[in-house]
Every structure is written in structure tokens, then in C-alpha cells.
Amino acid sequence: MAVELPGDPGPTHEESTAVEHLRLAGVVERLVETAPNLGALRKHRLHLAAARLWQFDGREVPAELVADTRAAAVRAMLARVVLGKARSAYGGAMLLMKGAEVAAHYPVPSDRSFRDLDLLVDDPAEAQRALTSAGFVQVADPTLFGGYHHHLTPLMWPGVPLVVEVHRRPSRPEWLDPLSGENVFRVAVPSATGVPGVLAPEPAAHAVLVVAHAWKHDPLGNLGHLLDAAALLASADRARAGAFARAWGWERMWNTTVTVMDAVLGDGRRGLASKVWARHLADVRERVVLENHVTRLAAPVWSLPTSGVPHAVAFALRHTATPDPDEDWTTQLRRSCLAVVHAFRPVSQHEQSVLGDPR
């Protein structure tokens, strides 16, 4: 009688993670070499990796990058101290999202810069009161962070260059369904920072959350956002991440991001988004003004069911055509005219012109 041999059990989770980290490290090196200049490296949050790689190769590292590396190292060292103070001050549930938590999943954690500690808590108002009573100080105008905002007034521990933001809920694009903090706490695990009592979203859920945050501010805007998701997925099951996106109503946004991520960071098929409004990622360059305006309209189209697209596009058009809260109609009209003239200029150059800097 034939004996059926057991199949190959395949690599363990730790082995798979190590292999994926090795691949991702190679991707980062390729992207650094592709970038046309230091400005592009900064835009795509690759500048710290560039400093590390250039130093290893014996190449000269610009003084400003050396300073950035030292400042990032100081923030990384102090992050655990500040988290510990926050944890001691507030007795409720506390969960760390984004920057410092994501960095712990990078192949080289020091490549991932951060300036904020984003804390999701079960009672935001009480947590804010507890932290200020313990010595944290507000560093912005509280009137700008009312209940509509996803976090309360930013805080700092005196003398420490890290901002602490107490979140009411995770951030996401205005046109997508909101997500409650309770949903995130249901999938919480101990933080990778190792600070006792501090939680984090499990990596599969966290990958979806960081993508949603990126789409709120700059959909498919820079490679750092893709690398965050890729680093978290190296420690997670991709199918589980997709299940979270589906359950939260963010599936189309997630699928679009994953398709672009696979095309830019790997050997995946280039989808329509990569060809239409995310072309700058493969070139490791900044978007030009025209691409930026296309993105405002394309992002809702690629992330919503057909029925929700008209309302979201109308919102985007209204946002583009009306003045920002800190400008009048004359300034807005000047900005719009310059946008036409500067259609093929990088966005940062256009913004300098809007602010009165002709460079």
C-alpha cells in the first residue's frame, strides 16, 4: 500500500517575514538609486534610507541629511519615553498607530521617520485632560480641532521634539465610511514598540488604516505610504487585510493601492491608476500641478461604488474652486490662474509661487 508522505509545510511565519523584509530592503535600495535628486527622496520619504545606503557605500552624505538622521534617531529614542509618560498619565485603553509603530515593521526601522505619536484611546476627552494634567502642553489652537476633526489639539512633552495626537477615531477620506475606534480596539495586539500597556492594530488591519490615512491627505501621493503598507503586510496575511478593508467599506481604495504597490514595488501588473494618476511613483518624482488636480477627481472614482462617485467628485470640485479657510477670493483666483500656467511644474514649485516666492 502506498504511503502518502506529508506535504512540504512551507516556510514559517517568521521565515516568510524575513524573506519579505529582505525583498523590501532591496526595493528601497532600488528606489533610492532611481530618485533624480534629494528633493524627490524627501518627497517620497526615502531620504533617511539614502543617507544610510550612501554612508555604507562610502559616498559623501550631505550635511542636511546627516542632521536629519540625527534628529530622527533622537525622536526614535525618545518615543518610548514619551509613550511611557502618556501611558502612566492615562489609565484607559491606549493604542499606537502609524509612525513609530509602522517603523518597527520596516526592514531597517531607522529608515522610517516620524514626528508624531498617534494615540487612539477609549475616552479622548479624558485622555487629553489626563495628559495635560501630567505635564503635556498644547502646541496648537484648540479651536482648530473641534469634534469634526479626527484628533484633539496636538500635545508635546516640554523639550521633547515629538508631537502627541490623541485620536477620536482613525482618519480616512471624507467620501468613505467612517470607522469607530471600537472597531480598531477589537483587533488590537501589544505594540511592537514594547511599551507595557500600549496596544497597536494587528498588522493586517494597520496596513488598511495607514492607507486610509494616506488617502485622506494625498492619495497615492508618495512611496513612503506604499512602503508603510508593504512593511506591515510583511508581518501579516494579505487576505486578512483585504477582509478588513471589505468589512469597513474601503475595499476599492485598498485594492487600488495594492495594485499600484505591487506594480511599483514589485513585478505586478500596471493597472489604470498607475498609468493615469500615479505615474510619478515609478519615476520617484513629485507630482506636477496637473497630475495633482487629476488626483482630486480620480481618487473618489477609484475608491467608491459608482453610485457614490458624483457626490464625491462634486465635493472635490467645490473644494478646488473655493478659497481655503485662510485665504480670500482674490488669493484663490490668483492660485487658480497660476495652476494653469504651472500645469507641468512640480507642486512644491507652484506652491512657492502662490506664497510669493518666484523660484
pLDDT value, residue 267: 83
What's the whole-number average pLDDT of the chain?
87
Interval 29-51: pLDDT, tens: 999 999 999 999 999 999 999 99
Q: Could you say which of 279, 312, 339 is where a domain stops?
A: 279
Is the confidence at residue 76, as pLDDT, over 60?
yes
Is residue 320, in this structure, part of any structural domain at all?
A: yes
107/318 Cα distance (integer angstroms): 42
Is residue 6, in this structure, part of any structural domain at all?
A: no
Q: What is the mean pLDDT of residues 214-227?
A: 95
Range of the domain at 85: 14-279
Is residue 8, in this structure, part of any structural domain at all?
A: no
Is the confidence at residue 154, as pLDDT, over 80?
yes
Is residue 300, in this structure, part of any structural domain at all?
A: yes
Interval 94-144: pLDDT, tens: 999 999 999 999 999 999 999 999 999 999 999 999 999 999 999 999 988
51/66 Cα distance (integer angstroms): 7
Q: Of 106, 121, 120, 161, whose CA–CA distance to 139 is shortest? A: 161
Confidence of residue 152 (pLDDT cuts 50, 70, 90): very high
Is the confidence at residue 61, as pLDDT, over 60?
yes
Q: Could you say which of 225, 247, 279 is where a domain stops?
A: 279
Concatenated DSSP letters of 198-252:
-EEE-HHHHHHHHHHHHHHHSTT--HHHHHHHHHHHTTS-HHHHHHHHHHTT-HH
pLDDT value, residue 153: 96
Beta bridge partners of 76: none
65/293 Cα distance (integer angstroms): 31
> The C-alpha cell of 190 is what?
501589544
How many angstroms separate the Cα of 308 from the Cα of each of 172, 173, 176, 215, 311?
Answer: 16, 13, 9, 17, 6
Q: Could you say which of 228, 257, 279 is where a domain stops?
A: 279
200 and 325 part of one domain: no
Domain count, the chain: 2
Is the confidence at residue 8, as pLDDT, over 70?
no
